[in-house]
Each structure stands twice: as structure tokens, then as C-alpha cells.
Amino acid sequence: MSGIYSYSGYETWLHKLDPRTKLTFTICYLILAFVLPSPLLIAGLPISTPLLMFLAMVLVIWFVARIPPARYLAFLVYLIPIVAGIAFAHTFFLNPCPCFAETTPILRSASVDGFLKGLDIGFRIAAMGVAFLLFSFTTEPFTWGLSMYKAGLPYKAAFMFAFGMRFYPLLQEEFMTIRDALKARGSDLLNGLNPVRLIRGMSITAIPLGLGALHRSQNIALSMELRGFSFPEETGVQRQLFRDIRMRPLDWALTSLCLIVLLGAIVLRLSGFWG
């Protein structure tokens, strides 16, 4: 079982990029989602820019990183109520002028601009979500940790962060077993989208999941100590790294390109080029 946050393990050129390059790309992409004008006029039709960015990212994950949307379908499904909720809130909380229709009081208080703005914000959040997916699917957690260590984070903190990413799928797997164990008792509390039932289900599973995680993390911490995790601190020996990461020409080129595009977009935005 592999979960949303697990490394896909494929060997595409995207996987081989330095984590810092992908992090730069992700950050630039996130800022662009807010800087670029929306909607864009394509063949005379107004198209939501965040929606386009969202779809483009899904295609990049699919065809460049070779991870089809079916792999993270649950994540995409959970985005639907989020986007819909934000659009709904904006529809009824912004000035309803122009409104959807004058026929009923509800439609009279529903703002068309609010709806479009809400969709824009919703898709911005969705785009941020898939950008994070691209990063986590293609970046091995330990090279991610290594890049953080190189950036100055203490080794133990960087390693634990990377390990946390590795630990998450294990917890997710345990959660699935607990969900199936509930089903075996005839309970559907952790199935479906009813939030009240889900909350009840989660509260019931908190004990086995929490105790399981505690037990596992205690064992893991012990194993780490037995393999010398605290040896450098105890003895003053300098920790050495077997693996190293370095920026290759392609990394530098892509990092530069990302920064140039972002800078250009900010300049155009501030200069009022997009109105």
C-alpha cells in the first residue's frame, strides 16, 4: 500500500532533480498561482488561471513523473468539497451584484462575481495541493532531509523530518487495517463522506492508532539509538555522510528559469501590465 505522501520510486528526470530545484519550482508555482491574472482570455473565452495551472500540474505529474491521477484519486476527490465550499461561501458573502437571477430570494443574494472569485481561490488551493504532491511523489524523503541539512538545519532535525515522511505511509497502512477491523464488526464509521460519522469513527480509532504509533515510534527510537544515532553527540565524533546531493547544470538552469518567470510575472503585475 502506498499513500499520498509516499515517494513513487520511479526514475524519471524529474525524480533525479535536486530537491532544492523542485522546492524552488514549487514555491515559484505557488506564488504564480496568486500573481498571475485570472481569468485568462483564451480564444475569446475567459478561463480561470488557477484551474489551468491545476490541470497543467496534473498533466506534468501524469506524463513527466509517470504517476496517473488514479494513484491520488482520493486526494482529488477530497478537493471537490473544499473548492465547492470556498466557491459557495464567496457566492453568498460577496456583494450580489450582478446576482445569478432575480427570480428567488436565494438566487438574488447569490453573487456571480463571488462565485467566480470563489472558484479561483478554490483552484488556487487545489493547485497548491497538487504542487505539493509533485514534490512528495518525486522527491525521496532522505534527499529532502539532506537538502535541509545542507541548508543549515541540525542533522537530527533534518533526519527526523525525512523519517517522518517515511513514517506517514506506515501510519496510513495501520489506519486502513483499523478501518477494515471496524468493518469486520459491522461498522461503516470510517467509510463515506458523512463528516459526523467520520469524526465519530476517527475518535474511536484514535486509541489503537495512537497506541500503535506510540509503540512503533518507541521501537524505532530504540533501534536508532542502538545504531549510534546519538554517538556523535556523546563522543564528539564528527558524523560523516555516505550520500551527497549536488546541483547539476540542469538544476541550475531550471532554478534560474523558475526565478526569471516568477520575477517577470511580479514585474508585470506591479507595472499594471495586466490591468
Partner 1 sequence: MTTPPPLQLRNVTFSYPSSEEPVLRDINLTIKAGEFVGIVAPTGSGKTTLLGLLGGVIPHYMRGELEGEVLLDGVDTRQLSLPKFATRVGMVLQDPDSQLFNLLVRDEIVWGLENRGYSRAEMLRSLDEILDFFQIEKLRDRITYDLSGGEKQRVVMAAVAVSRPDILLFDNPTSQLDPLGAELVIESIKRVLAAHRTVVMVEDKLDELLEHADRLILLHEGRILLDCPPAKFVRCHEVLAQAGIVPSSVAQLSLRLAAEGLLDGELPLTLADARPIYARLVESPPAPPVADTAPQPAPRSEAPAIQISTLRFVYPPPRPIMAVKRVDLAIERGSFVAIIGQNGSGKTTLARCMSGYLTPTEGRVLVGGEDVHQLKTFRRARRIGYVFQNPATQLFRQSVYDEVAFSLQYQGVAPAEAELRVAEMLQFLDLWEQRDLHPFRLSLGNKQRLAIACIAVLQPDALIVDEPTTGQDPRHAIAVMRLLAGLRERYGTTVITITHAMQLAANFCDRVIAMCRGEVLLDGRPREVFAQSELLATTFVKPPTVAQLALELGISPLPLNVDEAVLAIKSRAANVVKG
Q: Which residues bind partner 1 (CB under 8 A)?
A: 2, 7-10, 67-68, 70-71, 140-142, 163, 166, 169-170, 174, 177-178, 180-188, 191, 204-205, 207-208, 211-212, 215-216, 219-220, 222-232, 234-235, 237-243
Spell out the long-range contacts of 64-72 with Cβ–Cβ below 8 A and sequence spacing 24 or more: 64/12, 64/13, 64/14, 65/8, 65/10, 65/12, 65/14, 65/15, 65/134, 65/137, 65/138, 66/8, 66/10, 66/12, 67/8, 67/10, 67/137, 71/8, 72/4, 72/133, 72/137
State the cell numbers at 5: 505522501
Closest to partner 1 by CB, 29 or 137: 137
Question: At its nearest, how many Å lie between partner 1 and the CB of residue 61?
Answer: 12
Closest to partner 1 by CB, 176 or 267: 176
Question: At its nearest, how many Å lie between partner 1 and the CB of residue 52?
Answer: 26
Question: At its nearest, how many Å lie between partner 1 and the CB of residue 126?
Answer: 22
Q: Are 208 and 231 in contact (CB under 8 A)?
A: no
State the cell numbers at 127: 493547485
Question: At its nearest, how many Å lie between partner 1 and the CB of residue 178?
Answer: 5
Closest to partner 1 by CB, 153 or 224: 224
Closest to partner 1 by CB, 104 or 194: 194
Closest to partner 1 by CB, 7 or 54: 7
Question: At its nearest, how many Å lie between partner 1 and the CB of residue 104?
Answer: 38
Q: Pairing between strand 45-47 and 40-42? A: antiparallel
Question: At its nearest, how many Å lie between partner 1 and the CB of residue 79?
Answer: 20
Question: At its nearest, how many Å lie between partner 1 and the CB of residue 107?
Answer: 39
Closest to partner 1 by CB, 19 or 141: 141
Task: Give the span between the Cα atoms of 168 and 8, in whole angstroms.
Answer: 14
Q: Which residues of 126-147 are buried (b: 16+ CB within 10 A; e: fewer)?
A: bbbbbbbbbbbbbbbbbbbbbb
Closest to partner 1 by CB, 165 or 265: 165
Burial zone of 17 (CB within 10 Å; 0-12 exposed, 13-18 middle, 19+ buried): buried
Between vectors from CA 270 to CA 265 and to CA 274, what angle results, nearest 5°? 70
| Beta carbons within 10 angstroms of residue 167's beta carbon | 17
Q: Is the dihedral of CA 15, 18, 23, 24 positive or negative?
A: negative
